[in-house]
Structure 1
Amino acid sequence: MHAFGLEVGRRLGAGDLVLLAGDLGAGKTTFTRGLGEGLGVRGPVTSPTFVLARTHPSLVGGAPLVHVDAYRLGSALELDDLDIDFEHAVVVVEWGAGLIEALADSWLSITIDRPHGAGPAQDDEPDEGAEPVEPRRVSLTPVGGRWS
């Protein structure tokens, strides 16, 4: 997910909005960490769960990254109250389905599906201490404007 985020981040610029969906542990924040690296922003990029939104300024003269966790928000009005500069930043919103539609007319929706219950690290016998393999399936859906 980090490598995929890095690649996507290298292609984004000011005004781009990315909506992330997926279960807990699917890799949304890991993706965003890679995206931030691709944009060249100041890190570390961590989950904004308790602060709702975190801004990471660019270290290379590009757009800042605004990373939003909309899980605790109840409406688009609450998201709007965060006063996010959608025009001059790259904005990534986790858990924002049903909220951003009222605030934007164009975004890239990324859904990350992960398996529940990891398989062995190797096809045959797992290496001692190896991380389990949890392949993700990622779906990208462009919505409006820039993404059409």
Structure 2
Amino acid sequence: MTDNFTRNKFSDQLEAAGVPAHMHDWLSGHGVGALVEKMGIVFSELSAERAVATMPVEGNTQVVGILHGGAHMVLAETLGSFAAGIHAGPNAHAVGIEINGTHHRSIAAGTVTGTCTAVHLGRTLTTHEIVMTDEQGRRLSTCRITNLVRPNPKTS
């Protein structure tokens, strides 16, 4: 491996989720989270302004065989929260305070792509819009998340 970062207990998880190597130190204490792993979410872009990830439909369906609406929301919140966390920087953290979504079309197989775009990157609040599309580029859902940026607690 040629990337310049220290391996830790989450290195394999971070690599499998597509997290860029330069961000591994930032996530070395937490990884991407168990739910991201369970849902099969894989990042392809990750910044405060734009984040993109994919998620398989298989394994994330509801009883009638289509992608669960909650799975859309998990992908949206994952992308929006990661982008807000990057914006918050190393001395702060972001916590979600509101999320909403509209489902436009169902999907029963394949891969969903979520594209997260910053709407507002402020000192204390961030807002991102996340659009989920199928492999043909058709819009499946539109979500919006607002995160509160909080300073990290001081340690002694």
TM-score (norm: length of structure 2): 0.28
Relative contact order (C-alpha < 8 Å, sep 6+): which is higher? Answer: 1
Relative to total residues, which structure has the larger helix share, 1 or 2?
2
Relative to total residues, which structure has the larger strand share, 1 or 2?
2
